[in-house]
Amino acid sequence: MKAQFNFFTMKTLFVLGLLLFLGYQPIKAASTFVSPSFENTDDPIVRAQVVDENGKAMQGIAVLVKGSTTGTATDKNGFFELNLSKFSDEKVTLVLSFPNYNSKEVSIDMKNLPLDMGQIEMGKGAK
């Protein structure tokens, strides 16, 4: 039995092969965190940068609102931004965690949002 190739299939294979040969890399999202101004916003947002004990930015830190599934993770520069509009409590607690580091809990007063918390330091050690 003879295999028949469709012209579009051959063209697609050629283009894919060419892209692989030329070292095609997909477009990446912007890697620099730009903190927008808090002016003229009523959104209950909290922002911070997570650093280790040496002040080095930590990527991939899980940041969750305690008792919920709402959360985010830090970018490669250690920054995160979390919208807390789902929460009506006066205070919420953020839980920051990363393997081989102690989890850290940070209490947030919802009356003082939006809030830029600056840097939060994670301590290395066993849980």
CATH code at 91?
2.60.40.1120
- What pLDDT was estimated at residue 115? 85
Q: Is residue 82 part of a domain?
A: yes
Q: Which two structure tokens, joined as six digits, stand for 60?
A: 């991939």
Upstream peptide bond of 36 is cis (omega within 30 degrees of 0) = no
Render each residue's pLDDT in the chain as its tens digit; 127 residues.
555 555 556 566 665 665 556 565 555 444 444 544 444 456 899 999 999 999 999 999 999 999 999 999 999 999 999 999 999 889 999 999 999 899 999 999 988 888 898 999 998 865 4
**Does a structural domain hold residue 81?**
yes
> Residue 70: inside a domain, yes or no?
yes
What backbone torsions phi and psi does residue 75 show, to the nearest 5 degrees?
Answer: -80, -175
Domain region containing 81: 52-121
Q: Is residue 83 part of a domain?
A: yes
In-domain check, residue 12: no
Domains in the chain: how many in total?
1
Buried b (16+ CB within 10 A) or exposed e, 104-117: beeebeeeebbbee
Q: Would you say residue 29 lies in a domain?
A: no
pLDDT in tens, 20-55: 565 655 554 444 445 444 444 568 999 999 999 999
Instruction: Specify the pLDDT at position 30.
Output: 47
In a domain, 68, yes or no: yes
Going by C-alpha positions, the residue among 86, 98, 103, 99 that lies closest to residue 46 is 86
Residues 6+ apart with CB under 8 A from 91: 107, 108, 109, 110
What is residue 25's predicted lDDT score, i.e. its pLDDT? 52
Residue 38 lies in a domain: no
What the block records as the tokens of 87 is 């929460």
**Distance from the first to the final alpha carbon of the chain:** 64
